[in-house]
Amino acid sequence: MIKINAQKNFKNILKYSGELRANNDRTWFHNNHDEYEVARKDFLAFLDTFRFRLSEEAPDIGKSIMYMEPREWMYRIARDMRFHKNGPPYNPAFRAYIAADRKSWLPIGYFLSVTPNGSCFGTGLWCETTTKMNNIRKYISLHYDELCEALDESGLTIGGDKLKSMPRGFSADDPAAEYIKHKNWELIYFIPDEDIGGFEEFSDLLIFYVRKIEPVRRFLLKAAQYVDNPRPEFEW
């Protein structure tokens, strides 16, 4: 097993994130850019070593990320102001989506955000189109027993935004109705600051979460890959 550097910790990351939250403007950001770079390098160093622990528990993720650069998983700290015109210019958190493709959310990986009083870790399905959501809902309906087994094994429940009523084409009598109503399917652990210390201890904590989440993540991955009524192939 790959060991995480026991001497490294999240002190710089938490300190900088908290200060940016209190001084969220471009002048402060540029005047304190050196501190940002120190925290950023620490976060990338954690991701670079955590990948090996994650790969042991989720080999399908490991195969796709082993030769990637950790910066490919990390989100920019600057917000896209096209969507936050009246908001602060920076997101005061160090965030990453550890997967082969950070932008599409597929294949399903793990999300990590580190910030004072707001850190979290988890996975999920977030769809952009109704067609994709309905394919996932159809798979859940068809394989509800398998989902129940995965949830029982994990001891978790699925969270996320839900519709108030059943989507068109699905029955309210379906045993999986409450999961079919979902618009996204999330498994997220919120992490108190006191649990964020050394890299090695934090890695152990995240791996504990991964082991709980994995049965459901694997189910969601199959649901994400499901296509209802695919086009038949032409025979020549």
Is the pLDDT assigned to residue 11 strictly greater than 50?
Answer: yes
| pLDDT tens, residue by residue, 226-236 | 987 655 443 43
Q: pLDDT of 178-225, one tens digit each?
A: 999 999 999 999 999 999 999 999 999 999 999 999 999 999 999 999
Burial 17-44 (b: 16+ CB within 10 A, else e): bebbbeebeeeebeeeeeebeebbebbb
Mean pLDDT of 37-50: 97
- HSE (CB half, 13 Å, CA atoms) of 224? 21
The structure tokens 């108190």 sit at 192
* Average confidence score pLDDT of the chain: 91
More confident residue, 3 or 163: 163
Q: What is the mean pLDDT of residues 102-126?
A: 92
pLDDT, mean of residues 37-47: 97
Rg (CA), the chain: 20
Q: Read off the pTM.
A: 0.90
- For residue 184, the SS3 value is strand
- DSSP result, 23-89: T-SHHHHHHTHHHHHHHHHHHHHHHHHHHHHHHHH-HHHHHHHTTS-GGGTBPPSB--TTS-TTS-S
Q: How confident is the model over 156-177, as pLDDT tens digits? A: 999 999 999 999 999 999 999 9
pLDDT (0 to 100) of residue 128: 81
Taking the CB of residue 149, how many other CB atoms lie within 10 A of it? 14
Predicted confidence at residue 232, as pLDDT, reads 47
Rounded to whole angstroms, the Cα distance separating 100 from 68 reads 8
State residue 236's pLDDT score: 38
pLDDT for residue 101: 87
Lookup: tokens for 58: 């989720």
Asked if residue 47 has pLDDT above 50, the reply is yes
Per-residue model confidence (pLDDT) at position 233: 47
Under the banding of pLDDT at 50, 70 and 90, the label for residue 127 is confident
Asked if residue 6 has pLDDT above 80, the reply is no
Over residues 109-115, mean pLDDT? 97
pLDDT band, residue 84 (cuts 50/70/90): low
> How far apart (Å, rounded) are the C-alpha atoms in residues 131 and 135?
6
